Structure 1
Amino acid sequence: MTGVATVRLTAAQALVRFLAAQYSERDGEEQRLVPGVWGIFGHGNTAGLGQALLQAATCGDGAGGPVDLPFLQARNEQAMVHAAAAFAKMRDRLQAYACTASTGPGSTNMVTGAALATTNRLPVLLLPGDMFAARPADPVLQQLEDARAGDATVNDALRPVSKYWDRITRPEQLVPAAMAAMRVLTDPAETGAVTLCLPQDVQAEAYDWPEAFFRRRVWHIDRPRPDTAALARAAEVLRAARRPLIVAGGGAVYSRATGELRAFAEETGIPVADTHAGKGAVPWDHPCAVGGIGATGTAAANALAREADAVLGVGTRYSDFTTASRTAFADPGVAFVNLNIARPDAAKHAAVQLVADARAGLQELRRELRGWEADPAHRERARALAAEWARTADACRAARTGGPPAQTAVLGVLNDVLDDRDVLVNAAGSLPGDLQMLWRARDPKAYHVEYAYSCMGYEIAAGLGAKMAAPDREVVVLVGDGSYLMLAQEISTMVAEGVKAVIVVLQNHGYASIGSLSEKVGAQRFGTAHRYRSARTGLLDGGTLPVDLAANAASLGARAIRARDLGELRAGIERAKAADTVTVVHIETDPEAPGPPSSGWWDVPVSEVSELESTREARRAYTEQRRARRHHL
């Protein structure tokens, strides 16, 4: 480049140097945007990114300058993306790890993690190895042959689950692609998985890069404020309401709007319900808090939702669990005001749209509503319903006599043993439903439950990422045996990296959540237990499999504690918290123990015709329940 200072590096070396120089800033706080790279090497990335990361760690930039981009070795490609997503969630989306995998199966293993990150609006940077751009041989090892398109590779599977996707077929294409990737990673309205596919020959190809490409660059994350006219319309809706309700979602936490949300609720007296991502935004025992809302919500929140004539959504995407499959908000004239930085979410339910940062938007709305309060009778009813639910939750959390403990009693022990700042990590199965109804969070980071994608296998990898993001907090992973068996390998990564976490494994010998759902839809828990195949029936309904998850955890390097009852569970968790290494506490639970009383509905279609009476009965109930569904227009 004539007249421009350049440096000759491979594309992989240039990318490593570029990533090490990126920073994010919000409210005057700067941090590294990409603090490191997770990876598993193979022929598609070891000669490119692998060599570049080694060179950065041992030689710096080649001109005496450091290149600080640490490498972390994972055991499973899906898991490392989960760890990166959990890290971003704990850091309020201000930082994002990169993840590199080899060509073919290594890269496609990241698809599930990418889908989770994008669904949850969490930034992760994926750097999958790709086929030869020059096509020196065709096909090469692990190439997907598509007779319709010569440029198709398995990495095209990452397109629909990425918020930005590009394939770098020439080194110089990296410059605009890398800048676009950083833009999306730091945009709260657009963020998610960002994928830069890197053909293995391009990674190793040299180019004369402009020095300016590697300068220290700060990506400023703004706090957009709502439109003045939209603000007036929102205030008009809320001032006219007699039974308003706030639904707090993840956006309230990521924008660090929790203090503003509490002040807003206290000044207006509007009750606050929360989603999984929003739990803890208002402490569970705050006078305005009424608990989780929707299909697995509390009776208090769902009663107020049914009666609400105005709903203020703060940073929520209104999933089907939040709306109880569009049955939660039953008032015929209910109106919505949605405060969200992403317009598609702000526009849901024909709402008045406040497209803005949650904290900035609440500040403006507070000023607009100054002096207005909700009806005192409505406030008192919300407090009474919340108190009544607290008594119900106490009964659910209490221990029972005889047999393995109920899952709800295990949650009671955990909630009592953990401190307010300790982080509970969970994702899938029946646990999120019980947690949304029963868990008592006072801190916005204490409840780390992934329920946008509800991905089995997220839990242990997420515990690793969460602890790396918050080393000063105790991180406790809660996982059932079904999820554990899918993705437990990152226990050994915790051991290798010296990352200490507590992992509580509930062994109920199957899939408790789907077992219960199967029963509700008339499928009689078919295929939901971990059993031997029976010679008598030909089905998987024989004896329990002799699976020893505590021994498995110990084989991966963890310390294992076996708890036979709730007393031993409590003692085991206390010992695990005091330990200096990853510790697994294992306990058997009853998969058929009753859960908390349900007050919401979730739409799962039931077979319209069947030879089974159980299915016919379930269909009759389903037909009746779905009549309550409605569009909010």
Structure 2
Amino acid sequence: MKKLVSEQLVTYLESRGVEYVFGLCGHTNIAVLAELDKSPITFINVRHEQIASHAADGYARAKRKTSVVLSHLGPGLTNAATGVANAALDSIPMVVIAGDVPSHYYGKHPHQEVNMHADGAQWEIYRPFVKRAWRVDREDLFPEIIQKAFQLAESGRPGPVLVSVPMDIFSKEVDEEKFALLKHHTQVVEKPALDEETAERIVETLANAERPVIYAGGGVVLSQAEEELREFVEHMNIPVAHSLMGKGVLPDDHPLTVGMTGFWGTTFINDQTKNADYLFGVGTRFSEADSSSWYQNVTFNFPKTKLIHIDIDPSEIGRNYPVEIGAVADLKRALVALNRVAKQLYPNGMDRNEKLKEEIQEYRKSLRASIHENVTSDAFPMKPERILADVREVLPRDAYITTDVGWNKNGVGQQFPIYTPGSILTPGGYATMGFGSAAALGAKLAQPNKVVVSLIGDGGFGQNPSVLATAVEENIPVVWVVMNNSAYGTIAGLEMAHYDTTYGTLFKKDGESYTPNFAEIAKGFGVKGVKITSAAEFKHELKAAIEANEPVVLDVAMRNEPVPTDGQWNINDIYSPYSKKSHVSIP
């Protein structure tokens, strides 16, 4: 028996347990929308495709499951591209299904066709950042392509894939047997483990090391290996530093958590990794921000420090630093093996690092003391440190936080404790403005019983305020805290430090500071909006917003002051060679 491809696609998505499809309509995908109307799958309608891809990204992170985006051709696909690229650089599994021009019109340049260099070539737009892009040329090939798409998105290093479907293919019939065959194929491909010999070598090397440090990246979260890592850390008694994407893999109040390294890492944290004799990198690609632009003897000191590195992606082993022991494996399975071997070789665990634990506690006290004045300041516009401190005090330990770019990302990495693994969603590799506001929608859909707060700058929130329309329509109770400094603040401080101007970075009208009233904008969408007028008011309004269990926007005026940093960024040497300049405050 034959049925429409669109109908069988939706049935297939149901069989994979897909709860939501994120997207925006167009004449090329309405055949699929018509079938979704009959399905238990909910279509999350947005006003801009970038919102769809960021929301799908947030859902995939919080649910730990592949998300699905449905896009129109041409401008729909390019609008979504930023969010898909963001997911790609952070290794988030996503299947993008995009309508395309009718296959029988390739080359005639029908409405919205991409064909400047080849006919029917819109799928090529995504080639630089997705794991694979398919163009479906025959309806009978669609079933195996959609199966391959999900499998590839989830296998190895996860990431987005694109399936570009000419609109006539959606409306063609294909034998049900083509889709029925997919039921006989596994939906979960087993991932590589660590062999016993390598596990023994790693455990013995770390046991004999004088100053070992574990360096954890986002791969720990992606492989859901947080508990296995914690077990290994506590048995072997090894401190853990982490990348931005690795924040929260071990609770920030754990006695062996050192903190985030790199640009916005502190001297104490960077010194722990720099002075280690062995560094055990797990699920990290040693990116520029985390590694202080790879400057020698700032965050890391290879090859004096010896590196052990495990990652699911073989291209990451030795990409930026020489490796003494390198292994390609799924981190959860690798850590299971390491824990088994560690308990066999050292059944009573390792007794060490008590002094370091004390030093970590003293460091935390000194960090709190260094920012105490700002944390307790009643100044208005508010000090950014106080905003973060008040948010942390109000939120439960297991709340989900999404960030954007600027203070809300860098400051959170440095100063905002995360206690539940996987509960911090931040744009790491692509550092995309507009991520935090939309990702919060997906996170709340994935975790409806958790509090979800988006910490976002006014520049980022201003990019896609129509997230509020989707929140109202779908009743998604997210709280957006707009840290409003009327500027692209981080870049303004950077430009002032090096060029003595803030041209193009501050929001002004007739020479005076300007900002939209985001609270009133929220009300226009039907969302509760509160414009904070004093530092003392903020915490009370945040508590009320969380308790309201509805979408709320808090517009919080914030001073434009830089995140303190002890790390190093190569742009400082590019802009001002032989100078110590970095960022400055902007009045």
Q: TM-score under structure 1 normalisation?
A: 0.85
Alignment equivalent of 1:387, drawn from 362, 365, 371 = 362
Contact 1:299 1:389 in 2 (8 A): no
Indicate the residue corresponding to 1:583 in structure 2. 552
Alignment equivalent of 2:438, drawn from 451, 455, 461 = 461
Indicate the residue corresponding to 1:366 in structure 2. 339
Mapping of residues 422-441 of structure 1, within 5 Å: 422-441=399-418
Give the SS at the match of 1:252: helix
Contact 1:35 1:70 in 2 (8 A): yes
C-alpha displacement of 1:343: 2.0
Alpha-carbon distance in 1 for matches of 2:568, 2:354: 25
C-alpha displacement of 1:346: 3.7
Give the SS at the match of 1:282: coil
Contact 2:89 2:428 in 1 (8 A): no
C-alpha displacement of 1:229: 3.6
Indicate the residue corresponding to 2:250 in structure 1. 282
Cα deviation 1:559-608 (Å, max 9, x = unaligned): 011222222100000100110310111110111x3533x2211222655x
**2:34 aligned with 1:51:** yes
Give the SS at the match of 1:246: strand
Alpha-carbon distance in 2 for matches of 1:510, 1:274: 30
Indicate the residue corresponding to 1:82 in structure 2. 54
Instruction: Letter of the 2:335 partner, please give it.
Output: L
Alpha-carbon distance in 1 for matches of 2:312, 2:114: 39
Instruction: Letter of the 2:549 partner, please give it.
Output: D
How large is the RMSD of aligned CA atoms in angstroms? 2.4
Give the SS at the match of 2:109: coil
Alpha-carbon distance in 1 for matches of 2:337, 2:106: 60
Contact 2:380 2:535 in 1 (8 A): no
**2:233 aligned with 1:265:** yes
Contact 2:106 2:120 in 1 (8 A): no
Instruction: Letter of the 2:570 partner, please give it.
Output: D
**2:563 aligned with 1:595:** yes
Contact 1:284 1:441 in 2 (8 A): yes
Q: 1:243 to 1:20 in 2, by over 3 A?
A: same
Give the SS at the match of 2:386: helix
Alpha-carbon distance in 2 for matches of 1:368, 1:460: 44
Instruction: Letter of the 2:139 partner, please give it.
Output: P
Identity among equivalent positions (%) equals 26
Give the SS at the match of 2:294: coil
Instruction: Letter of the 1:604 partner, please give it.
Output: I
Indicate the residue corresponding to 1:557 in structure 2. 526
Alpha-carbon distance in 1 for matches of 2:48, 2:287: 29
Instruction: Letter of the 1:17 partner, please give it.
Output: T
Cα deviation 1:171-211 (Å, max 9, x = unaligned): 01202211211211221x23211110011122212233316
Instruction: Letter of the 2:444 partner, please give it.
Output: K
Alpha-carbon distance in 1 for matches of 2:186, 2:481: 40
Cα deviation 1:32-87 (Å, max 9, x = unaligned): 2x2232221112222x2223323xx1xxxxxxxxx543322122111111111111
**2:186 aligned with 1:192:** no
Contact 1:338 1:354 in 2 (8 A): yes
Instruction: Letter of the 2:80 partner, please give it.
Output: M
Contact 2:207 2:236 in 1 (8 A): no
**2:168 aligned with 1:201:** yes
Alignment equivalent of 1:21, drawn from 15, 37, 43 = 15
Alignment equivalent of 1:245, drawn from 204, 208, 213 = 213
Q: 1:355 to 1:238 in 2, by over 3 A?
A: same
Cα deviation 1:71-112 (Å, max 9, x = unaligned): 2212211111111111111122xx223211212111111111
C-alpha displacement of 1:506: 1.2
**2:126 aligned with 1:166:** no
Alpha-carbon distance in 1 for matches of 2:322, 2:445: 40
Q: 1:594 to 1:517 in 2, by over 3 A?
A: closer
Contact 2:107 2:119 in 1 (8 A): no
Contact 1:275 1:322 in 2 (8 A): yes
Instruction: Letter of the 1:103 partner, please give it.
Output: L
C-alpha displacement of 1:236: 4.6
Q: Give unmatched runs, 5+ long, in structure 1.
A: 1-6, 23-31, 58-66, 534-541, 608-614, 625-633
Give the SS at the match of 2:104: coil
Indicate the residue corresponding to 2:540 in structure 1. 571
Aligned pair count reads: 571
Contact 1:184 1:190 in 2 (8 A): no
Give the SS at the match of 1:109: helix
C-alpha displacement of 1:620: 1.9
Q: 1:395 to 1:414 in 2, by over 3 A?
A: farther
**2:489 aligned with 1:512:** yes
Alpha-carbon distance in 1 for matches of 2:184, 2:491: 50
Indicate the residue corresponding to 1:500 in structure 2. 477
Instruction: Letter of the 1:563 partner, please give it.
Output: I
Q: Give unmatched runs, 5+ long, in structure 2.
A: 583-587
Mapping of residues 212-227 of structure 1, within 5 Å: 212-213=180-181, 215=183, 218-227=186-195
Cα deviation 1:515-562 (Å, max 9, x = unaligned): 1222344363332101136xxxxxxxx112252111111112210112
Alignment equivalent of 1:321, drawn from 280, 289, 293 = 289
Give the SS at the match of 2:486: coil
Alpha-carbon distance in 2 for matches of 1:82, 1:245: 34
Contact 1:230 1:353 in 2 (8 A): no
Indicate the residue corresponding to 2:315 in structure 1. 344
Bigger mean CA deviation after superposition, 450-459 or 233-242: 233-242
Cα deviation 1:233-289 (Å, max 9, x = unaligned): 423542442111111112222333222222222222211112222222211121111
Indicate the residue corresponding to 1:10 in structure 2. 4
Alignment equivalent of 1:182, drawn from 150, 157, 181 = 150
Alpha-carbon distance in 1 for matches of 2:196, 2:322: 19
**2:429 aligned with 1:446:** no
Indicate the residue corresponding to 1:91 in structure 2. 63
Alpha-carbon distance in 2 for matches of 1:214, 1:481: 46
Instruction: Letter of the 1:468 partner, please give it.
Output: L
Q: 1:415 to 1:247 in 2, by over 3 A?
A: same
Indicate the residue corresponding to 1:114 in structure 2. 84
Alpha-carbon distance in 1 for matches of 2:401, 2:112: 39
Bigger mean CA deviation after superposition, 511-520 or 233-242: 233-242
C-alpha displacement of 1:399: 2.4
Give the SS at the match of 2:25: coil
Indicate the residue corresponding to 1:304 in structure 2. 272
Give the SS at the match of 2:151: helix
Q: TM-score under structure 2 normalisation?
A: 0.91
